[in-house]
Each structure stands twice: as structure tokens, then as C-alpha cells.
Amino acid sequence: MVLVYKLLRSAEWAAFQADGVFAGSSDDLRDGFIHLSAADQVAGTRAKWFADTEVVLLAVDAADVRWEPSRGGALFPHLYRPLRLGEVSLVAPPWPV
């Protein structure tokens, strides 16, 4: 099992639960893949991209992620297909601002 993590705004999480599939945020759709984080990258991702909003943290078991360098050179997991609700193994409660 390879766990990676996805931060979602509350409205995105509600839509994901209703649809059973998450195609990506506007940033994901623009870039052509779903942005994920390793465990040690979650706090930095939260601070950089979600500092002003409440988010839900999802633990995802997606074995087919690609580890690719970011602009700063760190390797981040990317998923080049929609995420299925059944791949979410843990949901952390809303993480307030």
C-alpha cells in the first residue's frame, strides 16, 4: 500500500462524496493531473495553497502515482486519472484556518 495525501476544500469533498469520483480541482485540471503530497509534504502544501481555507485531508492508496519534480526540484506524487472514492482509506476531520 502506497499512501499519499490530498487536501480538499469542504465543497470539493462534498462533491467527491456525492459523485464517487474526483476529476481534480481547477489547478489539477489546468495541469493535467491531480496534485498529491507525501506525508512530509502535507504541512507545506497546506501552508502554500490552502492557508486561508478549511480543508479535509484524505489518505489515498493510489499505486499508480508518478513521482515528479516540482519547480523547486522536490518529488511530488501526481495522479493522471480521476481519483475514485474507494481509494480513500482515511479522512481527517476538517482542518480549520
Q: How far is CA 71 from CA 16, 25, 32, in A?
A: 28, 19, 16
- In the sheet that 75-79 helps form, which strands lie side by side, from edge to edge? 34-35, 75-79, 66-69
* HSE-up of residue 37 (Cα within 13 Å, Cβ side): 17
Strand partners, 22: 83
| pLDDT band of 18, cuts 50, 70, 90 | very high
Q: What is the pLDDT of residue 97?
A: 61
Q: What is the pLDDT of residue 72?
A: 85
Residue pLDDT, tens place only, 51-84: 888 999 999 997 899 999 988 889 999 999 999 9
* HSE-up of residue 33 (Cα within 13 Å, Cβ side): 14
Q: What is the pLDDT of residue 37?
A: 96
Mean pLDDT confidence for 35-48: 94
